Every structure is written in C-alpha cells, then in structure tokens.
Amino acid sequence: MNGRELYTTAHVCPPQEPLPKPVSRFPHAEFLISAAAPAQFPADQGAEVAFVGRSNAGKSSAINAIAQRQGLARTSKTPGRTRLLNFFELGANRRIVDLPGYGYASAPEVERRTWTPMIEALKDRRSLRGLFVIVDARRGVTAGDEGLLDWSASDHRIHVLLSKADKLNRSESLEVLRTATRALAGRDATVQLFSAHSRTGVEEAQNVLAAWLESKPGAPSAPPGTEA
Ligand code: GDP
C-alpha cells in the first residue's frame, strides 16, 4: 500500500449514519387530559402556560415544535376535542394548556356559555404563569387579537409568537415585528418571530416557556431582548 491509499474516501469517512436526534428540552411531554369543565382541570399545582390563537394560526405546529414532539398537539384537533381545553404535561407539574382557536366573540351563545366559565376558571388558577399567543406573521397583531390579549391584562404576561415567519422576507419580518411591538407597548408582553417549519425562534420560545414554568406566581421573567 502506498501513502495515498490511506486517504481514500473509504478510509477517511465512516459509513453514513443518521444524525443523532437533538436532545429534547421537554423529554417527557405527553397529553394529560381534555377538559370540558373546570372540574376536570388537573390539580392546580406547579406551573402552566396557556397557548391561544385563531384557528389555523399555527398553534398546534408551534406546540409540537416547542415540545419537540410531532403529533403532540394533534389531540387538540381530534373531533370532539376542538372545543375543549387540552392539557399537556411537559414535566412534573409543568403544563401547557391548549385553548381552542379563538374568534369566539362571534361563536354561538351556547358555546360562549360553556367557554366563559372555563376561561375564567383558568385565569384564576394559581398555576397559570402566562399566555403564549400565536399570530400568523402575515396577519400581524390585529384589533381582534388585542381584544383577546386583554384577558391577560392584569396579572398575566403574554408572549406573542409571530408564526409562519418563513413566509416573510427579512424586511417584512422586521416590519411585522416592529408593528407588533408597537401594538403591545404598555403591556407585560414580549414578542418574537417564529416558524415551526424553518425552526426560526423555536429555541427562543423554549427559553421563555421554560423560564415561565420555573418561575414563581407573578414573577417577571422575560429574557433580555424580547421586551415589547
Ligand atoms: P392551528 O389551527 O393554529 O393549530 O394551526 P396548525 O398548526 O394546524 O397549522 C395550520 C396550517 O399552517 C397548516 O397547514 C400548517 O402546515 C401551516 N403551518 C403551521 N406552521 C407553519 C410554519 O411555521 N410555516 C408555514 N409556512 N406553515 C405553517
């Protein structure tokens, strides 16, 4: 063998193996319960963060991307569960609450009658650390969204994910971020660009969620740089 043979591709490169899966930030994420009434909520212990957004805003995709579990939030889409509050456990006494797609101001009266007490009961829980609001970045934060954000007005901070950011170019992204930041000014709110598809902002969202889930009730915990 001469020296050159030692360095053929076959010697230098080991056989291709699949890339290792990234270590999950929330390795024990799992579906907990669908609640049709406050009495079915899990015990009010530990910490939880609610996820809300209009239908089709990308909420399920965001939950799956953040929890790194494909199909986790599919439960919320199964017939019969779309109008329920779906709880997922990310760790011991650490939960996500997936609220049905909103726009419920125009929902039938009967739906609102079931809904309102559930939301009110959720707001009153000591565990609730805040609200992730998923807004399609192409739509931006609208008057309707701001109406919803009001439910968190007093005690509950909010974090807005401007979703599907992969659909925007850089200058459009910056513009939508600027506009949302203006719309949220004066609230206890943070905002970021997000894409489940390109994974833009997934780590940032995980950081906010993890910090909130580890925070004490009422404690501010916005990481620097995300203030609205
Ligand atoms: P939900 O109704 O708010 O739970 O929204 P889904 O997560 O089901 O997403 C609604 C639609 O938007 C689906 O067709 C998704 O494939 C699409 N979608 C979700 N996230 C993204 C994203 O990050 N980028 C793009 N381009 N499409 C997305």
Separation of CA 61 and ligand 1 centre (Å): 6
Exposure class string for 92-113: b at 16+ Cβ within 10 A, else e: eebbbbbbbbbebeeeeeeeee
pLDDT value, residue 115: 75
> pLDDT tens digits, residue range 177-195?
999 999 888 888 899 999 9
Q: How far apart are CA 58 and CA 172, in angstroms?
A: 19
CATH class of 31-213: alpha beta
> Is pLDDT at 33 greater than 70 in this prediction?
yes
Query: Of residues 16 and 74, which shows the higher confidence score?
Result: 74
Q: What is the mean pLDDT of the chain?
A: 82
Give the separation between CA 13 and CA 225, rounded to whole angstroms.
42
CA distance 141 to 5: 62
Selection from 39, 137, 22 nearest residue 85 by Cα = 39
CA–centroid distance, 3 to ligand 1, in Å, is 54
Output the CA 207–ligand 1 centroid distance in Å: 21
pLDDT at 197 over 80: yes
Domain boundaries, the chain: 31-213
DSSP tag of 126: T
Residue 196 CA: which ligand 1 atom is closest? 23
User: Is the Cβ–Cβ distance between 226 and 158 less than 8 Å?
Assistant: no
The mean pLDDT value for 191-214 works out to: 97
CA–centroid distance, 126 to ligand 1, in Å, is 31
Residues contacting 144, CB < 8 A, separation 6+: 54, 103, 105
Query: According to the model, what pLDDT value does residue 217 have?
Result: 84
At 87-102, the pLDDT tens digits run 999 999 999 999 887 6
Contact 113, 129 (CB under 8 A): no
Nearest-atom number in ligand 1 for the CA of 163 is 23
Q: Supply the pTM of this predicted model.
A: 0.84
